[in-house]
């Protein structure tokens, strides 16, 4: 069960009057009691035809949000996995399912955001959400860029974009008193294990900057060309694809063109749209486009998809953004648009980013760029799904859909609450498992002692990211188990102590949970402030929980003492006292009895006094030796209490002639 609310609120009356106006711009997030560290953007399903949707999960990577990162949602808008913080510092872009070493993995770019590009690296996660490979470009250049990280060939190689500054003679663009700077678009195919460059292509080697439709100081991301920090981004590569023949398909936003690149020498084989196009467009145009992909290709025809932005924030060529499928006839050198995937909002237009993904069942999935929407369409373009995940300030580079099997290695998260500790006080469970896709139901257990026995309470179906279950009786200790469709246990939570509010707090709590406090003090205390004790007082309250001034009775997670619990702890304390008293009395009695027995034990006669002529000289010597009896040793010497006989000097004197091997 997810609690969804706005992070922007105001305690004051004046700001409260503006709350309705702010609600439009507020950032809606989900909150989970079992995982309060996770509060993803809410994916609001505004239109859906579930029976016609393709199977799989929705993958988005929102940024310029309070909690940026890769996220996975299901078709109903419920969170499946939050990668916020897991992906590392910076932003994540373009998360998708990729093949690596024969298995499905998650692949995305992770790095630092710049103006119109990024600096970072590619990341590959296995289905337990552990990073198994970090991929960097080679060739002694800048780190990789956000626009493409695409492992291919079972993950043996990867396609990556790189944005590299280069000095350039820019006198044609009125930079005449010094050298100018260009941002060159580069792509590489590299070995994912070694970062060895398999193929490299540079835009300045093949595309003249004069073919660009975005000029220096023209947009917020074009750059001025005057220095290394503001290079002119004349090309702006934003996608790479590769066909079975070894050639590449790339998209250039700033030249408004799609290029087929030879995999042998990097030459441009053909150019769709832009300046000097190879084909005549019959019924379409596009500009500032993204995400060009091959769908089909033979000797005479090519079918490809792209996302047409039609706008760059300054120049607008179309009334709305859309997904397109284009048929190229290589015999007639013509290009024909055969599909147009329109937005649900008539005039929705994206000034940046966006993508179109063709799904295995021929549906199309679209991310609407800097507009926080995703949609799914059937093959004919009919709308099947429309969802929003934020307001206008949040961006998302690509949104895609894949089937995925997540099997995290950490434990399910559990939080348990009861309003009182009375025997019949209901106990509410909140359980989740971030990233687990196989869970079908949850089993809940309770006990009155940490060590058990644990009683099976119920098994309930999984509902969304967090499942809530309430039992009619109170249990102090609890745990939960995740169960798959076949009844097998997938994972177990840690044993949890039930949270019980104090009597003072209880009146402001509900039967199933306690809401956040709106402020300090009680209602009506507008000037209330947090209590700050004097220095050195109650700074570590659980050291002496019985102290009258203690703020809390137990460490975090333990409730205040209530009568049933107090009786329980008094009984347990009494048992400890009895055990200690028994040990203190019985052990000294046993020790005294043992030492008394040793003291009065009959002593062995001294054989040195026996009549043996041969031993008389030795006996005389022994009598002159100091006494070595046990009673003469210090009390702390261990032999005094070891129970051994007194030490004899010249032990051979005690032996009979027969023992020496002599005959009388």
For 98, phi then psi, to 5°, come to -130, 160
Using CA atoms, how far residue 369 sits from 356, 385, 393, 606, in Å, is 10, 16, 12, 105
Classify 160 as helix, strand or coil.
strand
Domain chopping of the chain, boundaries: 137-276, 413-429+440-497, 615-664
Count of Cβ atoms closer than 10 Å to residue 591 Cβ: 10
How far, in Å, CA of 215 to CA of 221, rounded? Answer: 10
Before 311, cis peptide (omega within 30)? no
427-432 and 466-471 as β-strands: parallel, antiparallel, unpaired?
antiparallel
> Residue 465 in contact with residue 32, Cβ under 8 Å?
yes
Indicate the helix (H) or strand (E) that contains 105: strand 103-113
What is the rounded CA–CA span in Å between residue 546 and residue 184?
Answer: 70
pLDDT at 624: 46
Classify residue 586 as left (phi > 0), alpha (psi -120 to 50) or beta: alpha
Cβ pair 266, 205 in contact under 8 A: yes
> Which residues does 474 contact at the CB level (< 8 Å), separation at least 6?
418, 420, 421, 422, 423, 424, 425, 426, 427, 498
Please tell me the predicted confidence (pLDDT) of residue 582.
77
Q: At a CB cut-off of 8 Å and minimum separation 6, what does 616 contact? A: none
Contact (CB, 8 A) for 370 and 350: yes
Name residues whose C-beta falls within 8 Å of residue 187's C-beta, 6 or more positions apart in sequence. Answer: 148, 159, 160, 161, 162, 200, 201, 237, 240, 248, 250
Please identify every stretch of the chain with a pLDDT value under 50, giving residue numbers as ranges. Answer: 5-26, 542, 549-566, 568-569, 604-626, 647-664
Alpha helix ranges (H) inside 600-655: 616-624
What pLDDT was estimated at residue 532?
A: 76
Cross-strand pairs, 239: 251
Beta strand 180-191 with 197-202 is: antiparallel
Name the residue among 266, 264, 240 with its Cα closest to residue 252: 240
pLDDT of residue 556: 43
For the chain, helix (H) and strand (E) counts, in that order, are: 5, 36
Q: Residue holding tokens 């120049």?
A: 315
CATH 1.10.10 correct for 413-429+440-497 = no
The answer to whether the Cα torsion of 448, 452, 457, 460 is positive or negative is positive
Please state, in angstroms and rounded to a whole number, the distance separating the CA atoms of residues 127 and 409.
9
> How many angstroms separate the CA atoms of 291 and 283, rounded?
20
How close are the terminal C-alpha atoms of the chain, in Å? Answer: 103
Residue position matching structure tokens 């033979």? 298
Residue 631 is predicted with a pLDDT of 57
E strand or H helix at 566: helix 563-599
Phi, psi values for residue 225, rounded to 5°:
80, 5
For residue 215, what pLDDT is reported? Answer: 96
Please give the DSSP secondary-structure letter assigned to residue 531: -
* Nearest residue to 59 via CA among 40, 46, 38, 34: 40
Give the Cα-Cα-Cα angle 486, 484, 48 (nearest 5 degrees).
110
- Both tokens of 356, joined, read 């179109």
DSSP E strands, 170-320: 180-191, 197-202, 237-242, 248-252, 257-261, 268-272, 280-281, 290-297, 301-308
Beta strand segments in 413-504, E: 413-418, 427-432, 441-447, 455-461, 466-471, 477-483, 489-492, 496-497
Calculate ∠ Cα 307-312-317, nearest 5°: 75
């Amino acid at each position: 069960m997810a609690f969804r609310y706005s992070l922007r609120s105001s305690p004051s009356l004046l700001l409260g009057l503006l709350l309705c106006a702010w609600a439009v711009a507020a950032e809606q997030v989900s909150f989970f009691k079992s995982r309060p560290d996770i509060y993803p953007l809410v994916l609001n399903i505004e239109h859906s035809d579930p029976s016609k949707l393709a199977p799989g999960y929705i993958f988005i990577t929102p940024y310029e949000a309070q909690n940026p990162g890769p996220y996975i949602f299901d078709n109903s808008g419920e969170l499946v996995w939050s990668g916020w913080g897991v992906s590392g510092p910076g932003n994540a872009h373009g998360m998708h399912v990729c093949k690596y070493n024969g298995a499905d993995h998650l692949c995305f770019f992770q790095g630092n955001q710049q103006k119109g590009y990024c600096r970072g690296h590619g990341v590959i996660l296995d289905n337990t959400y552990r990073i198994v490979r970090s991929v960097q470009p080679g060739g002694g250049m800048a780190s990789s860029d956000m626009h493409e990280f695409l492992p291919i060939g079972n993950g043996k190689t990867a396609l990556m974009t790189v944005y590299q500054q280069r000095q350039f003679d820019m006198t044609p663009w009125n930079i005449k008193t010094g050298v100018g700077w260009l941002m060159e678009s580069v792509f590489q195919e590299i070995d994912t294990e070694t970062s060895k460059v398999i193929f490299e292509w540079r835009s300045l080697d093949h595309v003249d900057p004069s073919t660009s439709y975005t000029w220096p100081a023209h947009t917020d991301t074009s750059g001025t060309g005057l220095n290394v920090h503001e290079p002119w981004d004349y090309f702006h590569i934003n996608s790479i694809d590769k066909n079975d023949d070894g050639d590449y398909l790339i998209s250039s936003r700033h030249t408004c063109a799609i290029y087929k690149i030879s995999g042998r020498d990097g030459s441009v084989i053909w150019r769709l749209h832009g300046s000097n196009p190879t084909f005549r467009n019959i019924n379409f145009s596009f500009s500032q486009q993204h995400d060009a992909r091959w769908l089909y290709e033979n000797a005479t025809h090519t079918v490809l998809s792209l996302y047409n932005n039609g706008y760059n924030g300054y120049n607008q060529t179309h009334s709305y953004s859309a997904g397109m499928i284009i048929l190229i006839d290589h015999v007639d050198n013509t290009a024909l648009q055969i599909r147009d995937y329109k937005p649900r909002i008539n005039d929705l237009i994206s000034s940046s980013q966006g993508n179109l993904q063709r799904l295995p069942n021929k549906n199309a999935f679209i991310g609407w760029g800097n507009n926080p929407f995703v949609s799914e369409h059937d093959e004919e373009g009919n709308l099947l799904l429309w969802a929003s995940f934020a307001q206008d300030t949040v961006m998302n580079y690509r949104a895609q859909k894949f089937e995925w099997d997540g099997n995290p290695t950490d434990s399910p998260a559990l939080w348990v609450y009861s309003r009182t500790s009375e025997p019949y006080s209901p106990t509410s469970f909140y359980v989740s498992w971030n990233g687990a896709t196989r869970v079908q139901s949850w089993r809940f257990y309770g006990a009155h002692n940490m060590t058990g026995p644990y009683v099976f309470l119920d098994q309930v179906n999984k509902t969304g990211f967090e499942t809530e279950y309430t039992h009619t009786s109170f249990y102090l200790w609890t745990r939960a188990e995740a169960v798959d469709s076949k009844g097998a246990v997938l994972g177990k939570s840690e044993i949890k102590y039930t949270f019980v509010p104090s009597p003072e707090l209880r009146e402001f709590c509900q039967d199933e949970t306690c809401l956040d406090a709106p402020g300090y003090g009680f209602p009506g205390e507008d000037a209330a402030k947090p209590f700050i004790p004097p220095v050195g007082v109650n700074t570590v309250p659980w050291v002496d929980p019985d102290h009258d001034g203690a703020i809390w009775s137990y460490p975090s997670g333990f409730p205040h003492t209530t009568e049933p619990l107090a009786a329980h702890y008094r009984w347990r304390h009494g048992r400890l006292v009895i055990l200690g008293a028994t040990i203190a009395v019985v052990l000294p009695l046993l020790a005294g009895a043992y030492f008394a027995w040793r003291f009065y034990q009959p002593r062995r006669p001294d054989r040195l006094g026996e009549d043996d002529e041969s031993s008389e000289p030795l006996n005389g010597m022994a009598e002159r030796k100091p006494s070595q009896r046990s009673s003469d040793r210090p009390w702390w010497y261990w032999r005094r209490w070891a129970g051994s006989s007194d030490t004899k000097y010249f032990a051979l004197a005690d032996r009979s002639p027969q023992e020496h091997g002599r005959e009388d």
